[in-house]
Structure 1
Amino acid sequence: MISGMQSINRVTRYLSTRLVAGILLCLLPIAVRADNALLVLSDFSPSYNQVQDAIQTTAQKPPRVATLDTLTVADSRTPIILAVGSRACEQMLSRYHPDTRLLCSFLPSTAFQRMQEQLLPEQRHANISAIFIDQPLRRQIQLARLIKPEAKTLGSALGNNSRSLHTELEAGSLGQGFDLQLAYLSALDNPVELLTPVIANSDIFLVIPDSSVFNRAISKWLLYLSLRHQVPVVGFSASYTNAGATASVHSSATQIGLQTGEWLNRLYANEPLPPPSYPAYYDVSINPVAARTLKLVLPSPEALEQQLLQIEAGY
């Protein structure tokens, strides 16, 4: 009898061991795949390479790297995909598989929203997110207020790619106590004719990144008109500041890559994918010559950055 019970116990232990082993074998591929990430670059331009380098440095486990011309059909089913740049994001959205967590990075917010609406109009987007290259309008408007605290009127212009920002721009201007002077530009318009009255009736002008409006030639005219009418310009890049804008707020490719790498680590830890977001890291640049010409006494870029951080933190 005892021998029979011992046999039963041995069989029970054997079956239990096999069951646990089977469960672990089932779970093992999931654990391995959870760390399997693919980084897709739009191309190997210097900016994309800087994003890639920052991601590889920040990530706990560096992802595999591919470009659009080396992608395979199987790549679109990789559990975690980072798409750097608009072209890479568009490709991965068009091939999107529901089991994949897709993070697009280093692209304009308007481009991401447009591609999502066109390529995945009916799908829920819990597993799709983005880190934008452009700054939130609220941050730019807050910088405008810091540059010229006494200003009453904020001027700006929207084009075909940025018209959807109208409501946000109005709300942000009102929140900072500005009256908004706004021009709408299309490819057929005379930009100088439309921008001149807006600049002339503004205390400070905000440039919104929109390639359909502000190409190099129009930007030169804008900066010329602003100096002529003694109106400071708040831009969106270091090059805009160097060209004559009084100040700009902007994020580098390395800063975007750092944030992307941090988000990748959260995905490795099986945390939820954060919602689409603007850059967490940014710099302020100022043009001392433009400030002196406009008789503005400005804090240092570092002081302006700290003020923006404190405002955003609610202090």
Structure 2
Amino acid sequence: MLSFGSFLRLLILLVLCAATHVAAAATVLVLLSEPSPIYQEFANAVSSELRRDASGIEVIQMHSDQVGAKPLPEAQFVIGAGNRAAQILVNRDIKAPTLLALLPRSAYDRIAAGKRDDKRVSALFIDQPPARYIDLVRVALPDAERIGMLAGPDSRDTVARLMQVARDRKLRPMQENIASDSDIFPALQRMFGEGGVLMAVPDTAVFNSQTIPNLLLSAYRFRVPVVGFSQAYVKAGALIALYSTPEQIGTQSAEIARNVLAGGSVPAPQYPRLFNVGINTHVARSLGYQLDSETGIRDKLERLERP
């Protein structure tokens, strides 16, 4: 039989263990821009990754229409998915570490301009690192030297970064600034009189549902392959695309959240680590390209990034 002193010590130990367990449990709020399948895929990946261990992290999901003027639920880490969610979180005085994900770097630079010195706020971009995007052309289309880019109001900085990397890789980048839809076809004519590759960049003023069909058709008539930044581009007629899925970005977002909740610092804004390559084999045959497999190209890009 335990003495009173032993019983008391055991009771204190149990209380401390329970308190430690409670302290270890944390809540992650995932705010989605809208309740669409893409955002839900992202949220499911966050939840799935955070449930992989026994840390007891709870995930709360909301979308922007549910927020309004009411306070957000209390959380120890907050993830905003998409431009609209990012705007809401930036406009709120969020005390918890915050990750803005599933948005282009250009959108982050615009939305979070006033938060650049806030060490609690970071981002996981949806677009690819410039070096990886340029290296895709070098790996998949080794004979290509001329890379043309259409720069709209929101993508001038993105295009500038890509142009610099292309020059560093001894390629010949070309840029045309686009102010309206009517500028696109003349720009293609000027850039691709001697052939080349058209590299699409995230900018809805240039690449949107109204312009993409005609843009891809025009490029096809010029026999210019298009390099896209999403799987949808491959389906629509781009030769090849480099992209990260919502699931991949959700998984990386959860890894960041788990590390911060374990005591790590909020990392600097970053590009996706995980990515895929997509190829339109019909367009490849029509343009006379014999490409390596999607897996083969991705493996080569991953090797280039290894230290």
- 1:221 corresponds in structure 2 to 214
Shift of 1:290: 1.3
Residues 1-315 of structure 1 correspond to what in structure 2 (within 5 A)? Answer: 32=23, 35-60=26-51, 61-71=57-67, 74-75=71-72, 78-97=75-94, 99-117=95-113, 120=114, 124-187=117-180, 189-314=182-307
Q: Letter of the aligned partner of 2:112 in structure 1?
A: Q
Shift of 1:50: 0.6
8 A Cα contact 2:149 2:159, kept in partner: no
**Structure number having the greater helix percentage:** 1
8 A Cα contact 2:158 2:201, kept in partner: no
CA distance in 2, matches of 1:36, 1:191: 47
After superposition, what is the alpha-carbon deviation per residue over 1:18-57, rounded to whole angstroms, capped at 9, x for unaligned?
xx99xx8xxx699738723222122211111111111110
Shift of 1:103: 0.8
Instruction: State TM-score, norm by structure 2.
Output: 0.86
CA distance in 1, matches of 2:34, 2:20: 31
Aligned residues: 289
Q: Letter of the aligned partner of 1:90 in structure 2?
A: Q
Q: Rate the CA distance shift 1:218–1:66 in 2: closer, same or farther, 3 A.
A: closer
Q: Letter of the aligned partner of 2:139 in structure 1?
A: L
CA distance in 2, matches of 1:182, 1:304: 26
Shift of 1:228: 2.1
After superposition, what is the alpha-carbon deviation per residue over 1:267-291, rounded to whole angstroms, capped at 9, x for unaligned?
2211111211111111101111111
Q: Rate the CA distance shift 1:197–1:285 in 2: closer, same or farther, 3 A.
A: same
CA distance in 1, matches of 2:112, 2:73: 16
Shift of 1:189: 4.1
Q: Letter of the aligned partner of 1:95 in structure 2?
A: R
Shift of 1:185: 0.2
8 A Cα contact 1:103 1:129, kept in partner: yes
Name the SS for the 1:63 alignment partner: strand
After superposition, what is the alpha-carbon deviation per residue over 1:218-274, rounded to whole angstroms, capped at 9, x for unaligned?
222322232222221111111111221111011111111111111121122111112
CA distance in 1, matches of 2:20, 2:29: 17
Q: Letter of the aligned partner of 2:296 in structure 1?
A: A
8 A Cα contact 1:76 1:96, kept in partner: no
CA distance in 2, matches of 1:301, 1:90: 35
CA distance in 2, matches of 1:169, 1:202: 19
Shift of 1:167: 2.7
CA distance in 1, matches of 2:195, 2:266: 41
8 A Cα contact 1:155 1:202, kept in partner: no
Shift of 1:87: 0.9
8 A Cα contact 1:76 1:92, kept in partner: no
- Structure 1 residue runs of 5 or longer lacking an equivalent are 1-16
Name the SS for the 1:181 alignment partner: strand
8 A Cα contact 2:79 2:101, kept in partner: yes
RMSD: 2.6
Name the SS for the 1:83 alignment partner: strand
CA distance in 2, matches of 1:113, 1:137: 16
